[in-house]
């Protein structure tokens, strides 16, 4: 008896907790050489945070001041990045899973995502997660859209390394993500292979 293969959209939920690495021929300039931590991937779509697009302004302190969060100056701060083109006036903290609050999404044993002010208050007060990055906006895909882009060879996926995700060396993050897969970007083809 022939076994029916699972629906590719439903079976692809394993991508949550992975990083997506843009292929060199990425057609969308907003994602050229992007490294994205994928927070969710299901039949309803996908959501991730671009982790290699730093923001100089506003500073963490300026953002806390705008939101009326004390203490000022904060006891500690985290880096800000442009998390993607969707809803870029909204903030998301991608952080280590050693801290979670109400409304936190625990992606796996190493990563969580929080979109409440509680985490910013905790960080400003000297607490909160050990590692984190505050992203303004996110990358989003509708149902099946990311699966199609993967089939079209737009992205590679790889296990997420907290050291790579949270470090501040943005200029080299894309190349280092590929190097972790032992891939030289100069040797990548833009054409997808089909068996």
| Nearest Cα residue to 22 out of 162, 166, 183 | 183
The whole-angstrom separation of Cα 12 and Cα 43 is 8
**DSSP string for 106-165:** E-SSSEEEE-SHHHHHHHHTT-S-SSEEEEEEEEEE-TTHHHHHHHTT-EEEEEPPHHHH
Q: Determine whether 96 is exposed, middle or buried from the number of CB atoms within 10 Å of its CB (0-12, 13-18, 19+).
A: middle
Confidence of residue 189 (pLDDT cuts 50, 70, 90): low
Peptide bond into 163 cis (omega under 30): no
192 compared with 161, residue with greater pLDDT? 161
CA atoms of 72 and 67, how far apart (whole Å)? 12
Mean pLDDT of the chain: 89
pLDDT score, position 102? 87
pLDDT tens-digit series, residues 131-176: 999 999 999 999 999 999 999 999 999 999 999 999 999 999 999 9
pLDDT at residue 184, as a whole number: 82
User: 8-187: which CATH architecture?
Assistant: 3-Layer(aba) Sandwich (3.40)
**Between 132 and 190, whose confidence is greater?**
132
Mean pLDDT across 34-47: 96
Q: For residues 102-123, give the mean pLDDT.
A: 95
Q: Which residues, including other chains, have CB under 8 Å from residue 90's CB and lie 6 or more apart?
A: 115, 136, 137, 138
Q: Would the pLDDT of 13 be above 70?
A: no
Sign of CA dihedral 76, 139, 65, 97: negative
| pLDDT at residue 14, as a whole number | 74
Tokens of 57: 């302004």
Section 69-98 average pLDDT: 95
């Amino acid at each position: 008896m022939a076994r029916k293969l699972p629906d590719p959209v439903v079976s692809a939920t394993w991508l949550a907790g992975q990083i997506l690495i843009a292929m060199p021929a990425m057609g969308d300039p907003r994602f050229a050489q992007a490294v994205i931590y994928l927070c969710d991937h299901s039949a309803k779509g996908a959501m991730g945070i671009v982790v290699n697009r730093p923001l100089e302004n506003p500073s963490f302190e300026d953002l806390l001041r705008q939101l009326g969060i004390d203490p000022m100056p904060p006891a500690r701060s985290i880096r800000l990045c442009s998390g993607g083109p969707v809803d870029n006036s909204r903030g998301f903290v991608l952080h280590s899973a050693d801290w979670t609050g109400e409304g936190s999404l625990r992606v796996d044993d190493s990563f969580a995502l929080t979109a409440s002010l509680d985490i910013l208050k905790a960080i400003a007060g000297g607490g909160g997660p050990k590692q984190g990055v505050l992203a303004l906006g996110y990358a989003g895909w509708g149902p099946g859209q990311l699966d199609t882009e993967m089939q079209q060879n737009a992205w590679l996926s790889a296990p997420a390394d907290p050291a790579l995700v949270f470090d501040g060396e943005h200029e080299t993050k894309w190349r280092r993500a590929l190097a972790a897969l032992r891939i030289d970007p100069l040797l990548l083809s833009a054409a997808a292979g089909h068996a």
